[in-house]
């Protein structure tokens, strides 16, 4: 799976002959799993039609500040377009547009969108040899790089004028490869392996019944997704859940019981750099499991329970280089209980949930957490989506690892 999968890519097209290549570029972005929108300078329409790009991207193409709808002028909101984008790629980027970008000129919607964008901006220059080497163009390159914009180097070859030299826009395949490589090398967890546990465990009573809990696995799965998006190789050990994930960097290891999770965790723990145990593992299991379904013959059923193996504590005893994270779901004396668990189980970080907080805990799409680290530094966060919570947890871990 490409690192561009799921990304919102805004492609800006300016008036250069290389614009004809952008049809292939749109298709490559779509093939990589990205969503694509196109914004053009008005003159770019002389080189490739909006209809072609709209058909390929499956989104309307924007080339002016307004468009006609039922005989009324409707504003194309460049701010919303810029905020929608995860990546803004300007290709081809002509000398004229690059100069305007460098000097803050905003005389068309592409430039207005550029000035509004908060995402990384890539530009692929395309112009004739003498224009490419002109001091004003070189100054534009330097200025745009100082803004944090990323230049996709032009290739050498035959140019539209008939000259041969530097200034040819990079080929669509090379543009996609350049962007993927640039993103990958900047990912904060690239090169790290992370073990994550998620979901409940089911402890069998008989072949039909079990002891379990209400964990949906959503929190662990969101942590896995964000960790993979940050470049980590993830081993996701999950109890029974309806959650699904499809990512080339995530390996899902399904388990059912606490003992199966214990074995799987210990199988992978030695090779990982970070372990985040978010699963709601059953603390007790039936001492004896009936081989046949227990018949409902008596008014009551008595089960003798015994403790399951404490997975988190077992890892705390053997950890070497690993950064170990546990979760604490509490209903009273939350901070004191979480701090005690952090110390007893030799953790580097504990994530505290309280069932007293509305919107937090099992099955919801939101969570409210407090992070406590080894130095007993406490960070509390407001109620957020579990995806945002996952980012908060991983950003804390990244900060600690690079401290």
- What residues form DSSP beta bridges with 195? 235, 275
Domain range for 316: 193-282+305-401
73 and 168 part of one domain: yes
100 and 199 part of one domain: no
Q: Which two tokens stand for residue 68?
A: 């006609």
End-to-end CA distance of the chain: give it in Å, rounded.
31
Give the model confidence (pLDDT) of 317-369 as tens digits: 999 999 999 999 877 888 999 999 999 999 999 999 877 776 666 667 899 99
Q: Are strands 35-40 and 61-62 parallel, antiparallel or unpaired?
A: parallel
Q: Identify the burial level of 333 via C-beta atoms within 10 angstroms of its C-beta, where 0-12 means exposed, 13-18 middle and 19 or more buried.
A: exposed
Of 137, 159, 186, which one is at a domain's C-terminal end? 186
In whole angstroms, give the CA distance from residue 344 to residue 122. 49
Note the pLDDT of residue 365: 84
145 and 201 part of one domain: no
CA within 13 Å, CB half, 305: 13
47 and 110 part of one domain: yes
Note the pLDDT of residue 302: 85
Count of helices and strands (H, E) across the chain: 13, 24
- The sign one gets for the Cα dihedral 16, 17, 23, 29 is negative
Which residues have C-beta within 8 Å of that of residue 14, sequence separation ≥ 6? Answer: 40, 41, 43, 44, 90, 92, 93, 94, 96, 97, 110
- Catalytic status, residue 337: no
Whether 12 is covered by a domain: the verdict is yes
In whole angstroms, give the CA distance from residue 149 to residue 87. 11
Q: Identify the burial level of 227 via C-beta atoms within 10 angstroms of its C-beta, where 0-12 means exposed, 13-18 middle and 19 or more buried.
A: buried
Q: Which residues of the chain have pLDDT under 50?
A: none
Of 186, 215, 243, which one is at a domain's C-terminal end? 186
Whether 289 is covered by a domain: the verdict is no
Note the pLDDT of residue 72: 67
pTM for the predicted model, two decimal places: 0.78
Give the model confidence (pLDDT) of 172-195 as tens digits: 999 999 999 999 889 999 999 999
Tell which phi-psi region holds residue 333, choosing left (phi > 0), alpha (psi between -120 and 50) or beta.
Answer: left
Note the pLDDT of residue 134: 95
277 and 380 part of one domain: yes
- Which of the residues 59, 77, 213, 337 is marked catalytic? 213
Q: What is the CATH number of the domain that holds 125?
A: 3.40.50.1950
250 and 119 part of one domain: no
Q: Which two tokens stand for residue 347?
A: 């953790």
- Into how many domains does the chain fold? 2
CA 270 from chain centre, in angstroms, equals 26
Note the pLDDT of residue 70: 56
114 and 157 part of one domain: yes
Note the pLDDT of residue 158: 78
- DSSP symbol at 37: E
Q: Are strands 150-151 and 121-125 parallel, antiparallel or unpaired?
A: parallel
In whole angstroms, give the CA distance from residue 182 to residue 230. 13
Backbone torsions φ then ψ of 350, nearest 5 degrees = -125, 140
């Amino acid at each position: 799976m490409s690192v561009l999968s799921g990304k919102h890519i805004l492609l800006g097209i300016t008036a250069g002959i290389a614009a004809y290549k952008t049809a292939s570029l749109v298709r490559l972005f779509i093939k990589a799993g990205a969503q694509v929108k196109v914004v053009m300078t008005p003159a770019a329409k002389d080189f490739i039609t909006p209809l072609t790009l709209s058909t390929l991207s499956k989104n309307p193409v924007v080339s002016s500040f307004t468009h006609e709808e039922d005989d009324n002028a409707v504003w194309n909101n460049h701010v919303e377009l810029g905020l929608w984008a995860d990546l803004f790629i300007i290709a081809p980027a002509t000398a004229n547009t690059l100069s305007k970008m460098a000097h803050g000129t905003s005389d068309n919607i592409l430039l207005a969108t550029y000035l509004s964008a908060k995402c990384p901006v890539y530009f692929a220059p395309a112009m004739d040899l003498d224009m490419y080497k002109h001091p004003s163009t070189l100054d534009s390159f330097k200025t745009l790089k100082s803004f944090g914009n990323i230049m996709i180097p032009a290739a050498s070859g035959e140019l539209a004028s008939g000259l041969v030299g530097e200034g040819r826009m990079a080929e669509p395949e090379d543009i996609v490869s350049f962007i993927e490589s640039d993103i990958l090398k900047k990912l904060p967890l690239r090169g790290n392996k992370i073990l994550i546990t998620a979901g409940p465990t089911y402890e069998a009573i008989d072949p039909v019944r079990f002891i379990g809990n209400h964990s949906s696995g959503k929190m662990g799965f969101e942590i896995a997704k964000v960790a993979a998006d940050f470049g980590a190789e993830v081993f996701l050990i999950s109890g029974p859940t309806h959650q699904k994930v499809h990512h080339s960097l995530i390996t899902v290891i399904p388990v059912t019981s606490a003992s199966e999770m214990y074995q799987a965790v210990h199988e992978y723990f030695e090779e990982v750099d970070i372990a985040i145990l978010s699963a709601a593992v059953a603390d007790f299991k039936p001492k004896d499991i009936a081989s046949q379904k227990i018949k409902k013959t008596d008014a009551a059923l008595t089960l003798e329970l015994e403790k399951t193996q404490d997975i988190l504590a077992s890892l705390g005893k053997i950890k070497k280089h690993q950064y170990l994270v546990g979760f604490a779901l509490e209903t009273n004396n939350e901070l004191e209980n979480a701090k005690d668990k952090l110390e007893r189980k030799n953790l580097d970080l504990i994530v505290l949930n309280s069932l007293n907080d509305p919107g937090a805990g099992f099955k919801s799409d939101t969570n409210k957490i407090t992070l406590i680290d080894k130095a007993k530094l406490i960070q509390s966060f407001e109620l957020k989506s579990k995806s945002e919570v996952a980012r908060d947890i991983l950003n804390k871990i990244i900060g600690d690892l690079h401290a």
